[in-house]
A = this chain, B = another copy of it.
């Protein structure tokens, strides 16, 4: 009985600890400024470079949609390239897409959509991901 208890306790503790991953970051990007679009990409790439097991996600809402709209983005190649990394994702909020009249077929290849950008971000935080607001 005693043994089972301690094994269970150990499993519980280790499951709690393992909920804290090594290097996972969600970047919150709401800026229309292309400097911030470039910074988000640079920081995400630097994290992936620092740790090959790192995971990064850039979540766009608010006024940042020019970054991922085909006809407006100044970083579309870098967006597609980062999205192709299996440890990275670039996700845009559908509520923001609708508010800014951006159709899903106008998105830069590789960009994913989520129903609610804010929920996406806080859900990642809840799962133990670090949070970085992109600004300069």
Enumerate A86-136 residues with CB–CB distance to B below 8 Å.
95, 116, 118-119, 121-123, 125-126, 128-133, 135-136
Complex: A39 Cα to B30 Cα, angstroms: 10
Kindly identify which residue among B39, B50, B122 contacts A62, using a CB–CB cutoff of 8 Å.
B39
Q: How far is the CB of A122 from chain B (nearest CB, A)?
A: 2
Contact B39 A118, beta carbon cutoff 8 Å: no
Contact A50 B9, beta carbon cutoff 8 Å: no
Contact B30 A136, beta carbon cutoff 8 Å: yes
Most B CB contacts (10 A, CB to CB) among A2, A4, A23, A119 go to A119
Which A residues form the contact surface with B (CB < 8 A)? Answer: 1-2, 4-6, 8-9, 12-13, 16, 20, 23-25, 28, 30-32, 39, 43, 46-47, 50, 62-63, 95, 116, 118-119, 121-123, 125-126, 128-133, 135-136
